[in-house]
Amino acid sequence: MSPPRTDRGRLLLVLVLAAATAAFTATVPLLRDWFDLRVYYGAVNTWIHHGGRLYDYRVPGTAYGFTYPPFAAVSMLPMTLVGLRTAIVGSVLLNLAALALILHVLTEGAWRRYGWFGCALGACLLALFEPLRDTFSFGQVNLLLLALVLTDAWLLTTGRERRAGAGIGLAAAIKLTPALFIGLLLLARRWRAAAVAGAVTAAATALAALVAPGASRFYWTEALWDTSRVGRLGYVSNQSLQGILARLGDTHRTAWAAAVLVVLGVWAWRTRRALAAGDWPAAFALTGATACLVSPITWVHHLVWLLPAFAVLVRTGHPRVAGALYAVLCTSVVWLWFHDASGVDGFLGSNTYTWITLGLLLWLPAGQLRAGRLPLRRSSSATAPAPSTAAPQTAPATGHSRPRSGAAATGAGCAAARVACGPGRGLNRSASSEPTGSTRPAASNPQSSSRRASS
């Protein structure tokens, strides 16, 4: 079926799709009532305006409080100057800006070629993606962190290595999971960028220690090691290796530690192969997927870190695979096993998103650059040809080739735009007492039936 050829037809199609998307996002995904943002807002306001201790704060009527490193609270201090509604608006705008930057990096600006029609289609497709829906409606920070990390990816792939590292360092200081990208820089032997990232993380952490010494001491000595503060490990939203084991009834750390070591070994092996071919997009995508797997808790909204992997699938000529996996991540299918994840069907179904993440780690094409693309140079000074006095020389282009002419124009969405999107069908489910599983979450139980969580 070909797209409408007239502007009127395109506008009608966009309006129909926008209405369907709005109905879908208002019913099936269920609203989270900006719960995590209310945790951030309440914690920093109580700390600054009422003299309370940062990690003692609880959202009224719940047992849930702040769980990020102290620097995250320091970076959120501007919220103490505004009301909650203004903070919510600011969160939405910041997430939109971060998403625009992410799409620009992942698609290399290809979305500009498709005009308003392609961008509108892409926006509808992206709005169906469950991790994105939850990131916005929780008021989460994952898109902001991904934007910081991908800024460094862009610097590395465009020969601006001397400026790289700060984004990864800031992301790791705000939330620990992005610290794995420092490991990526070390694997790539980008010593300067790794040193910058480590120094920025250390400096931000030291700043937080100066501003909030008591909170810093408590976090690094107690809160960091207590995963129960974040939420119940066996909760179906936890799509990590630890989540699989917890739903199987394994509460010991031995099996999880062994699984993490195996996954890190596979990540190092596959990432080194990607780096050897100069395939930085695949290296960053593999690292994002691995971070989701090895983190003790990876809520569904954390899976925005898989967006680079979908971009790689499309770039390497696998748009159908990308679209199929993307469509599954739009369906909220894991919630079918919210009440009971036992049995073979529970083992397979409740961990669907983890299987997708693991599959991307194992089979994501790496080192398969498009024809005409040159491997990334280690540094412009080390590989640039010596100037010739005989004739002027034109430097070879190092960017990606243009999308195939047959690719569908879907803006920030599918094939040519590098980000794989697919329609997903929502699954109705009964309301629960958790914000990741209820239309209007009961104030008493956002992430776990017995523990608090803000992640």
pLDDT at 319: 93
Q: Give the pLDDT band (50/70/90) at residue 93.
A: very high
The one-letter code for the residue type at 208 is A
Tokens matching residue 435: 């914000």
Please give the mean pLDDT across all residues of the chain: 81
Instruction: Tell me the pLDDT band of 446, cut-offs 50, 70 and 90.
Output: very low
Of 18-27, 183-192, 288-297, 396-405, the range with the lowest mean pLDDT is 396-405
Report pLDDT for 90. Answer: 95
* pLDDT band of 391, cuts 50, 70, 90: very low
Proportion of the chain above pLDDT 70, given as a percent: 79
Is residue 201 over pLDDT 90? yes
Which sign, positive or negative, has the C-alpha torsion 26, 139, 41, 229?
positive
Q: At what angle do helices 115-127 and 7-27 cross, to 10 degrees?
A: 20
439 vs 362: which has the higher pLDDT: 362
* pLDDT for 256 beyond 70: yes
Any idea which of 67-76, 153-162, 185-194, 370-379 has the lowest mean pLDDT?
370-379
Query: Looking at residues 363-386, what average pLDDT do you find?
Result: 54
Give the pLDDT band (50/70/90) at residue 374. Answer: very low
Both tokens assigned to 266: 């596979």
> For residues 136 and 134, what is the distance between their CA atoms, to the nearest angstrom?
5
For 415-441, what is the mean pLDDT?
38
According to DSSP, residue 62 is labeled: S
Angle between helices 130-138 and 115-127 (to 10 degrees): 80
Whether the pLDDT of residue 450 is over 70: the answer is: no
For the segment 39-82, what is each residue's pLDDT rounded down to a tens digit? 999 999 999 998 888 998 888 887 788 999 999 999 999 999 99
pLDDT of residue 415: 38
pTM here?
0.80
**Average pLDDT over every residue of 432-455:** 41
Ranges 85-94, 367-376, 400-409: which has the least confidence: 400-409
Q: Kindly tell me if the per-residue pLDDT of 424 is higher than 80.
A: no
For residue 455, the model assigns a pLDDT of 55
The lowest-confidence range among 13-22, 61-70, 226-235, 280-289 is 226-235
Residue range 238-259: mean pLDDT, rounded = 92
Q: What is the pLDDT of residue 425?
A: 35
Task: Output the pLDDT for position 30.
Answer: 59
pLDDT at 230: 74
Comparison of pLDDT for 432 and 23, the residue scoring more: 23
The residue ranking higher by pLDDT, 304 or 114, is 304
pLDDT of 294 reads: 96
Distance CA 137, CA 436 (A): 10
Q: Within a 10 A sphere around the Cβ of 221, how many other Cβ atoms?
A: 9
pLDDT at 375: 39
Show the tokens assigned to 93: 């705008």
pLDDT for res 440: 38
User: Can you point out the beta strands (E) in 127-277?
Assistant: none
| Helix spans in 108-141 (H) | 115-127, 130-138
Tokens of 182: 């420092």
Average pLDDT over residues 378-388: 42
Asked if residue 150 lies in contact with residue 101, where contact means CB atoms within 8 angstroms, the answer is yes
* Residue listed under structure tokens 């392609």: 118
Helix spans in 28-141 (H): 35-49, 70-75, 84-107, 115-127, 130-138
* Sequence letter at residue 45: N
Task: Report the pLDDT value the prediction gives residue 42, as an integer from 0 to 100.
Answer: 93
